[in-house]
Chain A
Amino acid sequence: MNAVLRLQRFAATYSRSLVAYAIVAILWIAASLLIAGFGAYAHLRYIVELAAVIGLVGIGQTIAVIGGGIDLSVSAVITVTAIILPLVTFDADATGLGAIALALLVAAGIGAVNGLGIGYLGLPPLIMTLAMATILQGLLILIAGGSAISVTNPSLDWLGSTHFLTISVSIMLWAIVAAVCLFWLHGTRSGSLIFAIGANPVVSRLSGVPIRRLTLATYVISGFCAGLAGLLLLSMNGQGYVGIGDPYLLSSIAAVVLGGTSILGGQGSYLGTIAGAVLLVTMTALITVVNASEGWRSVILGCLILAMLPLSGRDQSR
């Protein structure tokens, strides 16, 4: 395949994602010119730091959506991680890494239960993950009640506050996990099979694609990534409470769709979700600058997402 053809194919595949990046670039440039301090390096870095949480949740959500599913339990998993970590922090574990590993294990385990229900029992992803979210919500109230739980974990503090060459560790974490995800989705055989399952599950099954195992993997990854996001959120917040993860369900779906991944499955890229996450946080930041009341903030954000729709591409098949 010659270079021009390859470039054309790249543009065709990623045009929706590229549009999201273009919007982010335009917004950043315009806002930097119009609003004093918006374009400062520290401020833009802060935006990306906030986007890292949505971006990490978005990894699992993107894979689930490309595979023809959806994960509605991500917000509950975030909350679980943010509440379990302070509880499993013990003195013998001086670095706090043990507690982090345990919390991530729980998150991946929840994802595994989702994956088993969806892949092996054949439950619709919507209902399985919704039920999981309901169950977790109940358990969380049991464990944490209404109170906020503070955490002291050296590794987590390091994650939330350290900069290497002026780049935050949290952004680096996001970049590394994102790179791994992108390589898996677009560079490996099992990754490309996720697209096949999302595009046509029946044909995939008849062609011998191990749908069950891949579905299980999808939701384990989603749980794990939501767990990572929970850790990051906790490192920024310092304490976990019931409801800490709630905003991230809708924003992860919004980031996926704004990034040009088809909600019907089989099409898209995590590349777009990255831009979608940054776009969401940028819009929220812009609204905060305008100093609007809570009601106006909500209205403006909603209208902005609606206004973005023509740019992020329409649904062709329906």
Chain B
Amino acid sequence: MLGQGTRLYWAIQWRRNEGLGALFLVLAVFAVIYAILFPGILAVGAMAKFVQGWFPTAMVAAAETMVMLTGGIDLSVGPMVSLGSVVGASTMQGPLGIFGGVLALLALGTSVGAIVGAFVAIGRYPAIIVTLALSFVLRGVALLIMRRPGGFVPPSLSEFLAGSHPTAAVLVVLLVLLWKFYQATPLGIGLIAVGDNAEGAYRSGVSVTTVRISAYIISANLQAFTGLYVAAQTGSGDPLIGEPLTLSAIAAAVLGGVGFLGGQGAMRGALAGSLLMSILINVMFFMGLPLVAQYVVQGLIIVATVALPLIRASLRRAS
């Protein structure tokens, strides 16, 4: 028999799916279309490749969601991923090898996240302008380290992360599990509370500043390691490779119902949003649509997925 707490937990979890129905439906439809168009995707190898294509977007969507849930926003995702790829690719030839690279990325993510967190949580400056300014700084630093794509990623690491193994799929599962774990800690519980009602959270004993700063630190680390993953995929560091990811991250999060004002939405929505965009790009590629049509369709799908529930709600009100 289920305890009351457990039942309450699942009831709340189920309620958080509200408003995501349209997204899940569209996602399912496109997944089926994709599987029909390209049955080979159901094989393990092809699936592994697909997940590898999706993984960076999923990571940055998760990173953006953490920050947006606290009521902030991160406009420096793309440059941070680029910087991560550059730092990763330029530190792994050192004496410490892969381990040294990972250490450097941890240091990078933690320090950048702490800086943003300090500005936003302690200085109380708007996250949108802090991260906008930071995006210039990070892009500049990446260009200073590496003028053009280069550096070195050990082939073994590339093979492990982006080779024929389904490592990326395991990492996605790990990401979700870690998120669930984080949500069970005081900092994780405070995350949504702070975004929804900072004053109320503070009065209830949540350390608003700590919650915000840790959210930015974790988010920046996710972005830095996305950079490492991208570097492993391409085999080198690239100071501009992450640029499109800023908008993808925000689009995936908003598509997934994560609100601009904080406290609204769930990680599952953002991940589903990023998956939908990834599948869309693949489906349109296999249908032979030109790049032009891909942009247009992507824009329309984003609008439609968000607009449909709104239209339905207004129709319900009218009748």
Which chain A residues have a beta carbon within 8 Å of chain B's beta carbons?
117, 121-124, 126-128, 130-135, 137-139, 141-142, 250, 253-254, 257-258, 262-264, 293-303, 305-306, 309-310, 314-316, 318
Q: Which residue of B lies closest to A254 (CB)?
A: B132
Contact B129 A293 (CB under 8 A): no
Given A124-B254, A295-B144, A306-B130, CB of A134 within 8 Å of CB of B295: yes
A-B contact pairs, 9 of them (CB 8 A): A117-B303, A132-B299, A133-B299, A139-B292, A253-B129, A257-B126, A257-B132, A295-B141, A302-B134
Q: Is the CB of A250 within 8 A of B132?
A: yes
Q: A127-B306, A257-B126 are in contact. Are A135 and B136 (CB under 8 A)?
A: no
Q: Which 6 A-B pairs have the closest CB atoms?
A: A138-B295, A298-B140, A302-B136, A299-B140, A302-B137, A295-B143
Assess whether A123 is in contact with B136, with CB atoms less than 8 Å apart: no
B198 on the A face (CB < 8 A): yes
Residue in contact with A309 in the complex, picked from B119, B198, B293, B303, CB distance below 8 Å: B119
Residues of A close to B298: CB separation below 8 A: 134, 138
Chain B interface (Cβ < 8 Å from any Cβ of A): 71, 75, 119, 123-126, 128-130, 132-144, 147, 198, 247, 250-251, 254-255, 259-260, 290-296, 298-300, 302-303, 306-307, 310-311, 314
- Check if A135 sits within 8 Å of B296, measured CB to CB: yes
Contact assessment for A123 and B310 in the assembled complex, using a CB-CB cutoff below 8 Å: yes
Closest chain B residue to A309, Cβ basis: B125
In the assembled complex, the Cα of A263 lies from the Cα of B126 at a distance in Å of 7
| Bound-complex Cα distance A309 to B132 (A) | 12
How long is the Cα–Cα vector from A130 to B141 in the complex, in angstroms?
27
Nearest to B291 among chain A residues (CB) is: A141
**What secondary structure prevails in chain B residues at the interface with A?**
helix
Q: Are B129 and A121 in contact (CB under 8 A)?
A: no
In the complex, residue of chain B having the shortest beta-carbon distance to the beta carbon of A134: B299
CA A264 – CA B293 in complex, angstroms?
A: 34
> How many A-B Cβ pairs are below 8 Å?
147
Contact in complex: B129, A263 (CB < 8 Å)? yes
Q: Which residues of A contact B135 (CB under 8 A)?
A: 250, 302
Would A253 and B128 be within 8 Å (CB), given that A124-B254, A298-B140 are in contact?
yes
Main secondary structure of the interface of A (DSSP, over half): helix
Closest to B300 in A: A135
Chain B hits for A121, CB < 8 A: 307, 310-311
Q: Give bound CA distance, A220 to B303, whole Å.
A: 19
Contact B303 A128 (CB under 8 A): yes
Q: A142-B292, A301-B140 are in contact. List 9 more A-B contacts (CB 8 A).
A: A123-B310, A124-B260, A127-B303, A131-B302, A135-B300, A295-B141, A299-B141, A302-B137, A302-B139
Residues of A within 8 A of B125 (CB): 309, 314-315
Min distance, Cβ B189 to any Cβ of chain A, angstroms? 20
Chain B residues near A130: list those with CB within 8 A: 247, 250-251, 254, 302
Tell me the bound Cα distance from A315 to B72 in angstroms. Answer: 12
A257 contacts across to B, CB distance below 8 A: 126, 128-129, 132
Least Cβ–Cβ distance between B274 and chain A, in angstroms:
15
Task: Establish whether residues A318 and B124, one from each chain, have CB atoms under 8 Å apart when the complex forms.
Answer: yes
A142 contacts across to B, CB distance below 8 A? 290, 292
In the complex, are the beta carbons of B133 and A302 less than 8 A apart?
yes
**Cβ contacts under 8 Å, A299 to chain B:** 136-137, 140-141, 144
Q: Evaluate contact between B137 and A303: CB separation under 8 angstroms.
A: yes
Which residues of the other chain, A, contact B294 by a CB distance below 8 angstroms? Answer: 138
Complex CA–CA separation, A62 to B129 (angstroms): 14
Contact between B255 and A127 (Cβ–Cβ < 8 Å)?
yes
Taken together as a complex, chains A and B put the C-alpha atoms of A235 and B186 apart, in Å, by 57
Specify the chain A residue showing the minimal Cβ separation from B239: A295
B71, A318: Cβ atoms closer than 8 Å: yes
Whether B310 lies near A295 (C-beta < 8 A) is no
Which residues of B lie under 8 Å from residue A253 when comparing CB positions? 128-129, 132
Contact among B129, B250, B303, B311 for A305, CB-based, below 8 A: B129
Least CB distance, A61 to chain B, in whole angstroms: 12
B143 touches A298 (CB 8 A): yes
Contact B133 A306 (CB under 8 A): yes
Q: How far is the CA of A303 from the CA of B170 in the complex (A)?
A: 39
With known contacts A130-B250, A250-B132, A305-B132, A298–B139 Cβ distance under 8 A: yes
Residue in A127, A257, A293, A303 whose Cβ sees the most chain B Cβ within 10 Å: A127
Residues of A within 8 Å of B134, CB to CB, are 302, 306
Q: Are A305 and B136 in contact (CB under 8 A)?
A: yes
| Complex interface: chain A residues within 8 A of B133 (CB) | 254, 302-303, 305-306, 309
Contact A131 B136 (CB under 8 A): no
* B297 closest partner in A (C-beta): A138
Q: Say how far B111's CB is from chain A's closest CB, in angstroms.
A: 15
CA gap between A306 and B134 in the complex, in Å: 8
- The answer to whether A314 touches B140 (Cβ under 8 A) is no
**A122 and B291 form a contact (CB under 8 A):** no
Kindly report which residue of chain A lies nearest to residue B138, judged by CB atoms: A302
Taking a contact as CB atoms closer than 8 A, the residue among B143, B259, B295 that contacts A141 in the complex is: B295
